[in-house]
Amino acid sequence: MKASDATGVYAVERECFRDPYPSKFLDALIETERDRFFVADEDGKIVGYAVTTASGKDGHIVSVAVNPRCRRRGIGTALLSAVTRKLVEEGVEDIHLEVRKGNRAAISFYERMGFRAFSEIRHYYTDGEDALVLKRLIESSRPSEC
């Protein structure tokens, strides 16, 4: 992620979400989470992004977005894999995200990537829709103790 990618990130955000994050929020993430903010580009144009935060052993996928015209080509998988790898490198053991309860395509995608429904947040989105909280536990590569 480079600061110059911000305009492309905003464009993807507006294309993907009914209630896009404000540009100031994305600017803050670009500044504070630069090492955890990944973009996908085709021919120099941003077509997707993913950003995550971490606190101790807990990771939070803030957003994964791919331009609707570029979906079903592995871009979302590559982005989610990249942020997950970054969190694992940082020692995160538990990753969570929120997704609209009615967004079956996104839920199926996250389930294919190892996330499972954990809880629900009522009226999470600005239009009142509920969110599902999905979690993925990271299996330790350390040998088990006997």
Residue 19 pLDDT > 80: yes
CA distance 134 to 116: 5
Please give the angle made by the CA atoms of 103, 133 and 56, to the nearest 5 degrees. Answer: 135
The structural architecture, per CATH, of the domain 3-137 is: 3-Layer(aba) Sandwich (3.40)
The arithmetic mean of pLDDT across residues 118-145, rounded, is 84
pLDDT tens column, 54-105: 999 999 999 999 999 999 999 999 999 999 999 999 999 999 999 999 999 9
∠ CA 134-138-141, nearest 5°, is: 170
Domain boundaries, the chain: 3-137
Query: What's the rounded mean pLDDT across residues 9-21?
Result: 93
43-62 mean pLDDT? 95
**E strand residue ranges, 13-93:** 37-42, 45-55, 58-66
pTM of the model: 0.88
